[in-house]
Structure 1
């Protein structure tokens, strides 16, 4: 196995205004799929309001906890 390759599953939770943007996360997911690395991507939905864009990570909770349940 090449040096630096992750041997554990990875979960990336991304959003438009988070640390990891959706487009960066998709690029990472594609690179990991090509390298046969176990990466699951969750992108939070966002809604436009009068106050601006709001991301709803709470909606992703079931997917996140399901992933944790399966992997750990």
Structure 2
């Protein structure tokens, strides 16, 4: 799994899928390109399944663990 320190969040485009801390899978909806925040929608969230249907969510850079293929 990639270390979030090696992922350049500024370059991530909408549609990219990312693996979050805790195993959640999210798709980037918008990237403000500040290197700190991403706006995502969860595709899978083992700890909080209700977030899958909760619409857009802001996530912090340190919560991103890997880019999914």
TM-score tier (shorter): under 0.3
Structure 1 or 2: more strand by fraction = 2
What is the TM-score normalised by the length of structure 1?
0.19
Structure having the larger proportion of residues in helix:
1
TM-score with structure 2 setting the length: 0.20
Larger Rg: 1
Higher relative contact order (CA 8 A, sep 6+): 2
